[in-house]
Structure 1
Amino acid sequence: MTEEPLPAAPEPETGGDPACWANRVCPACGAFNETPGTATCPTCGRNFGDLLDE
């Protein structure tokens, strides 16, 4: 009896999370903003534009 070779492993998927999420962390309270493109922090309500001027 001959053994058949095992099937090849699937190729890993490309993509995934970006390398840096720093632009989505509120500098005032440290909360993560799960909605990209919003102007205010969902936790503390601070305007991200106001925080850049400090």
Structure 2
Amino acid sequence: MKLERKNLSVPAETNTILSELERTMVASIALMKRLRRERRRSVRVERTAEEQSA
């Protein structure tokens, strides 16, 4: 059975939705990078504190 696609035109709001999705993804990636960097920094501070107390 052959399926026909009747609506081949893209809705006007698709570009808006895609750009919003892209901004959300970029923001979440930046947040993950920042959290990873802060976690590394806190681990580094804990290690130096342990070394100084030893």
TM-score by length of 1: 0.29
Structure number with the higher helix fraction is 2
Q: Name the larger-Rg structure.
A: 2
Question: Which of 1 and 2 has higher RCO (CA within 8 Å, sep 6+)?
Answer: 1
Structure-2-length-normalised TM-score: 0.29
